[in-house]
Structure 1
Amino acid sequence: MNPSLSPLDWLVIGVYLVFLVLFALWLARRQRDRSDYYVGGRQIGAWPVAISVMATQCSTNSILGAPAFVAFAAGGGLVWLQYELAVPLAMVVLILAVMPLFRQLNLVSVYAYLEGRFDLRTRLLLSALFQFVRAFATAVTVFSIAIVIDLILGIGFFWSVVLLGVFTVVYDVLGGIRGVIYSDVIQMLILVAVLVLLLFLLAAEYGGISGLLDAVEPARRQALDFSHHGLGDGETFAFWPMLFGGLFLYLAYYGCDQSQVQRLLSTRDIDTTNRALLINGILRFPLVALYCLVGIGIAVYASQHAGFVPSLPLHEGEPQYNLAVPRYMIDTLPPGLVGLGLVALFAAAMSSLDSVLNSLSATTMEDFVLRFARTPPGAARELLISRLITVAWGVLTLVMSFYVGDIAPTVLEAINKIGSLANGPILAVFALGILTTRASGRGACIGLVLGIGGNAGLWLYAPGVSWLWWNVIGFGVSFAFGLLFSESTSKAPEALPQPHPLKVLAQASNLNWRWRSIVLLLWFVALFGLLALA
Structure 2
Amino acid sequence: MSAQIGWTDWLVIGLYLVGLVLLSLYLSRSQHSRSDYYVGNHGIGPWAIAISTMATQCSTSSILGAPAFVAFAAGGGLVWLQYELAVPLAMIAIMVFLFPAFYRLNLISVYEYLERRFDLKTRLILSGIFQFVRAFATAVTVYGISLVIELITGLPFFWSVVLIGAITLLYDVLGGIRAVIYSDVLQMLILVVVLLGLLALLLADLGGFSGIFSALPSGRVKSLDFAATGLGDGQTFAFWPMLIGGFFLYVSYYGCDQSQVQRELCSRNLNDGRKALFLNGILRFPFVLLYCLLGVAVAAFALHNPGFIDSLPKDAGQPNYNLAVPLMMTKMLPHGLIGLGMVALFAAAMSSLDSVINSLSATTMEDFVRRFKKGQWQQRTELNLSRLVTVCWGVLTLGFAFFVGRIADTVLEAINMIGSLINGPVLAVFALGLLTRRANGNGAVAGLLGGFGLNLYCWVAVPTLSWLWWNAFGFGCCFLVGYLVSLISGKRNTEHGLYWHSLGEQQNDKRWKKGYLLLVLWALVILLVAWGLERL
TM-score, reference length from structure 2: 0.97
Structure 2 residue 247 is the aligned partner of structure 1 residue 250:
no
Deviations 1:71-123 (A, max 9, x none): 00111100000000000000011111111111110000000000110011111
| In 2, Cα distance between equivalents of 1:502 and 1:122 | 22
* Gaps in structure 2 of 5+ consecutive residues: none
Aligned partners of 1:271 and 1:509 also within 8 Å: no
Q: 1:420 to 1:18 in 2, by over 3 A?
A: same
Equivalent runs, 1:180-191 vs 2, <5 Å? 180-191=180-191
| In 1, Cα distance between equivalents of 2:212 and 2:309 | 18
Specify the alignment match of 2:527 in structure 1: 528
| In 2, Cα distance between equivalents of 1:465 and 1:392 | 39
Specify the alignment match of 2:390 in structure 1: 390
Equivalent runs, 1:146-157 vs 2, <5 Å? 146-157=146-157
Specify the alignment match of 1:111 in structure 2: 111
1:509 Cα deviation (Å)? 8.7
1:26 Cα deviation (Å)? 0.6
| In 1, Cα distance between equivalents of 2:210 and 2:270 | 42
Specify the alignment match of 1:475 in structure 2: 475
Aligned partners of 1:97 and 1:502 also within 8 Å: no
TM-score, reference length from structure 1: 0.98
Q: 1:496 to 1:220 in 2, by over 3 A?
A: farther
Counterpart code for 1:349: A
1:318 Cα deviation (Å)? 0.3
Deviations 1:316-370 (A, max 9, x none): 0000101111111101111111100110000000000000000000000000111
1:499 Cα deviation (Å)? 7.2
Counterpart code for 2:527: F
| In 1, Cα distance between equivalents of 2:327 and 2:130 | 35
Deviations 1:394-413 (A, max 9, x none): 00111111122222222222
Aligned partners of 1:370 and 1:376 also within 8 Å: no
3-state SS of paired residue (1:494)? coil
Aligned partners of 1:230 and 1:241 also within 8 Å: yes
| In 1, Cα distance between equivalents of 2:144 and 2:511 | 42
1:217 Cα deviation (Å)? 1.6
Aligned partners of 1:126 and 1:426 also within 8 Å: yes
Specify the alignment match of 2:296 in structure 1: 296
Counterpart code for 1:92: I
Aligned residues: 533
| In 1, Cα distance between equivalents of 2:429 and 2:55 | 27
Aligned partners of 1:505 and 1:511 also within 8 Å: no
Deviations 1:215-247 (A, max 9, x none): 222111111001111111111100000001110
| In 1, Cα distance between equivalents of 2:441 and 2:498 | 20
Identity level (%): 60
3-state SS of paired residue (2:225)? coil
Aligned partners of 2:434 and 2:498 also within 8 Å: no
| In 1, Cα distance between equivalents of 2:293 and 2:369 | 46
| In 2, Cα distance between equivalents of 1:484 and 1:529 | 42
Deviations 1:282-308 (A, max 9, x none): 010000000000000000000001111
3-state SS of paired residue (2:307)? coil
Specify the alignment match of 1:38 in structure 2: 38
Give runs of ≥4 in structure 1 deviating > 6 Å: none
Aligned partners of 1:5 and 1:335 also within 8 Å: yes
Equivalent runs, 1:252-401 vs 2, <5 Å? 252-401=252-401
* Gaps in structure 1 of 5+ consecutive residues: none
Aligned partners of 1:236 and 1:466 also within 8 Å: yes
Specify the alignment match of 1:431 in structure 2: 431
Specify the alignment match of 1:466 in structure 2: 466
Q: 1:441 to 1:347 in 2, by over 3 A?
A: same
Aligned partners of 1:96 and 1:502 also within 8 Å: no
Q: 1:516 to 1:502 in 2, by over 3 A?
A: farther
Counterpart code for 1:343: V
| In 1, Cα distance between equivalents of 2:397 and 2:178 | 22
